[in-house]
């Protein structure tokens, strides 16, 4: 079973294109695994407790529960708008999560890893994290570059330092545990530098999950949030599913929350006696004008602003094609328009309209199921189909850019094939009727394979093309490798209809 997770987002605001990025990669990769035929569970959700949310509720004059109930709908709407097909959505205010958190924390307590102590230090509410003085940049939070508060409390502490050696050993023994390697090195460096125990509860806050052994304190929000991955796998409410679903195959996260996922979380799991996730994969930030997008510097872009122009498929294609998973990526409107016009309107969309147009014009939309020729002209097309199918494996490592580059070889080869074989000329010679059928059949077959291969990235466009091709069933049915062998396109009634990707004027 493949179990993929996104971070659970703070519902202090609506999702923007940065938060949508992790969600998008997770959705495309989960769709890829389903297309491959693997049983898959993809999870997203919201992180509803903690000081940050309590403050957001206060600012909006609402009780925290009413606030999160009100705002969670925006996440559902955004994910629906972007055609995300998640199997699970978790809210940390759900009972199944509360029960799981209390059970896991109790296990850590019973294991002797929890003790009472006093803590005083700089705290960034936006990060929901304590820092040490050394980590501050000019006295500011290193992530948000804004002033920190000083918090002092008597809290329960988790003996994180006990897990440094086991964690280093685990990272050493499992080179793919933290990716990419830069992040792995960062985590190893952090662990080797010496790690302090961490405060895992709050006495000054009520908006959280009470500790089972001390109801006067609530769990520190990260200690509750990380456990969502276990709650959503059925720990408290579906133990049978939990047995097949845990450990997760991969947690996808932004680089700013790597320490929580690659240090705190595995240590918590070790303490609670649960297996560790197989992989923690971190991506960079989406920058706008070279800086991290944020509400405070008015660079925040919402998915709906882009979907309006590019559609959900155009949106998904752009971010999966142009932002590599790992380094920071820069967003620009011009870049998005150029990419859309070049790859979607031209290479892919235009190919589909030309082929379907020729089929309508010369064969009334019904091309006989003649087996496509296998001559020198067809060779590049056939090899491109094989390469495109092989490129799908890039999704295993979240390399959607490379997967799409591989798929595009097929569309480029199809366009070249059209130019070379020039069916509009062949059609003029009645003696070449069978050659025309062969050429059109080969082009339709390439489109059929293309529709299947793009389905994880553009489920809507794949479906629309499938309908135009008059094919039965679904483009995203399982076992794509078998379904993508270049063969004979069946005799269906095809229709050109509207453009798949209408050109966008800059
Ligand atoms: N609630 C925590 C996560 C808990 S997971 C157990 C949290 N939430 S968040 O809403 O602030 O951020 C969620 C994710 O969005 C993080 O992975 C973060 O890296 C990502 N992004 C937020 N802004 C981003 C960009 N501008 N670009 C890319 N990802 C960004 O942290």
Is residue 292 lining ligand 1, measured as CB closer than 6 Å? Answer: yes
Q: Is the pTM of this model over 0.85?
A: yes
pLDDT digits (tens, 9 = 90+) for 329-370: 999 999 999 999 999 999 999 999 999 999 999 999 999 999
Ligand 1 atom closest to the Cα of residue 252 is 17
3-class SS of residue 95:
helix
297 has a pLDDT exceeding 70: no
387 in Cβ contact with 409 (< 8 Å): yes
62 CA → ligand 1 middle, Å:
24
Task: Tell me which of 88, 224, 257, 293 to substitute to probe ligand 1's pocket, judged by most ligand atoms within 8 Å of the beta carbon.
Answer: 257
Is residue 254 lining ligand 1, measured as CB closer than 6 Å? Answer: yes
Greatest pairwise CA separation for the chain in angstroms: 91
pLDDT digits (tens, 9 = 90+) for 10-37: 998 889 999 999 999 999 999 999 999 9
383 has a pLDDT exceeding 90: yes
pLDDT score of 300: 87
Q: Closest by alpha carbon to 470, among 442, 493, 438, 447?
A: 493
HSE-CB for 357 with a 13 A CA cutoff: 12
Burial 180-193 (b: 16+ CB within 10 A, else e): beebbebbbeebee
Distance, C-alpha 28 to centroid of its chain: 6
Beta carbons within 10 angstroms of residue 467's beta carbon? 14
95 CA → ligand 1 middle, Å:
24
Confidence band for 291, pLDDT divided at 50, 70 and 90: confident
HSE-CB for 226 with a 13 A CA cutoff: 23
> Mutual orientation of helices 400-421 and 433-454 as an angle, nearest 10°?
170
Torsion of CA 472, 4, 304, 222, to 10 degrees: 160
462 has a pLDDT exceeding 90: yes
Lowest mean pLDDT among 81-90, 281-290, 383-392, 458-467: 281-290
Alpha carbons 181 and 166: distance in angstroms, whole number: 19
256 has a pLDDT exceeding 90: yes
Is residue 21 lining ligand 1, measured as CB closer than 6 Å? Answer: yes
Region of residue 504 (left: phi > 0; alpha: psi -120 to 50; beta: else): beta
Alpha carbons 321 and 172: distance in angstroms, whole number: 32
Work out the mean pLDDT of the chain and round it to a whole number.
96
296 has a pLDDT exceeding 80: no
Residue 290 vs residue 277, higher pLDDT? 277
19 CA → ligand 1 middle, Å:
6
Is residue 67 lining ligand 1, measured as CB closer than 6 Å? Answer: no
- Residues of the chain above pLDDT 90, percent: 90
421 in Cβ contact with 376 (< 8 Å): no
Alpha carbons 157 and 201: distance in angstroms, whole number: 7
164 has a pLDDT exceeding 90: yes
Alpha carbons 121 and 124: distance in angstroms, whole number: 10
Mean predicted confidence (pLDDT) in 476-486: 97
484 in Cβ contact with 456 (< 8 Å): no
- The domain defined by 332-493 folds into Isoleucyl-tRNA Synthetase; Domain 1 (1.10.730)
Task: Tell me which of 20, 221, 254 to substitute to probe ligand 1's pocket, judged by most ligand atoms within 8 Å of the beta carbon.
Answer: 254
The ranges assigned to domains in the chain are 332-493
């Amino acid at each position: 079973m493949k179990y993929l997770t996104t971070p659970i987002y703070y519902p202090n605001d609506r999702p923007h294109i940065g938060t949508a990025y992790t969600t998008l990669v997770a959705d495309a990769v989960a769709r890829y695994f389903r297309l491959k035929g693997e049983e898959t569970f993809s999870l997203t959700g919201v992180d509803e407790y903690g000081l940050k949310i309590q403050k957001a509720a206060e600012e909006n004059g609402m009780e925290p529960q009413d606030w999160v109930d009100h705002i969670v709908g925006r996440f559902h709407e955004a994910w629906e708008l972007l055609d995300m097909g998640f199997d699970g959505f978790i809210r940390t205010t759900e009972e199944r999560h509360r029960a799981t958190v209390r059970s896991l924390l109790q296990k850590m307590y019973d294991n002797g890893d929890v003790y009472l102590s006093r803590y005083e230090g700089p705290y960034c509410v936006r990060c929901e994290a304590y820092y040490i003085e050394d980590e501050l940049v000019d006295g500011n939070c290193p992530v948000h570059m804004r002033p920190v508060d000083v918090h002092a409390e008597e809290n329960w502490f988790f003996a994180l330092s006990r897990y440094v050696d086991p964690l280093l050993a685990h990272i050493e023994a499992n080179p793919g545990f933290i990716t990419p390697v830069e992040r792995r090195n960062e985590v190893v460096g952090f662990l080797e530098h010496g790690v302090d125990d961490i405060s895992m509860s709050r006495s000054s806050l009520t908006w959280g999950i009470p500790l089972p052994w001390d109801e006067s304190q609530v769990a520190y929000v990260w200690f509750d949030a990380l456990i969502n991955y276990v709650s959503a796998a059925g720990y408290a409410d579906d133990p049978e599913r939990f047995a097949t679903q845990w450990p997760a195959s991969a947690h996808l996260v932004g680089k700013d929350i790597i320490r929580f996922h690659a240090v705190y979380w595995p240590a918590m799991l070790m303490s609670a006696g649960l297996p560790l996730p197989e992989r923690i994969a971190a991506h960079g930030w989406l920058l706008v004008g070279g800086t991290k997008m944020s509400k405070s510097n008015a660079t925040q872009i919402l998915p709906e602003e882009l979907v309006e122009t590019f559609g959900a498929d155009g949106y998904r294609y752009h971010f999966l094609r142009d932002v590599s998973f790992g380094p920071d990526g820069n967003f620009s409107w011009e870049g998005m328009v150029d990419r859309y016009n070049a790859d979607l309107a031209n290479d892919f969309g235009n190919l589909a309209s030309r082929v379907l147009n020729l089929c309508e014009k010369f064969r009334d939309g019904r091309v006989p199921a003649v087996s496509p020729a296998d001559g020198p002209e067809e060779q590049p097309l056939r090899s491109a189909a094989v390469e495109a199918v092989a490129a799908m494996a890039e999704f295993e490592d979240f390399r959607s850019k490379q997967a799409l580059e591989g798929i595009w070889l097929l569309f480029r080869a199809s366009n070249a094939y059209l130019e070379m074989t020039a069916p509009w000329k062949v059609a003029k010679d009645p003696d070449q009727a069978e050659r025309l059928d062969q050429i059109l059949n080969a082009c339709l077959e390439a489109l059929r394979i293309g529709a299947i291969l793009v389905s994880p990235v553009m489920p809507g466009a794949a479906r629309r093309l499938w309908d135009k091709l008059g094919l039965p069933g679904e483009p995203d049915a399982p076992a794509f490798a078998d379904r993508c062998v270049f063969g004979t396109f069946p005799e269906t009634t095809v229709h050109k209809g509207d453009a798949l990707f209408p050109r966008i004027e800059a």
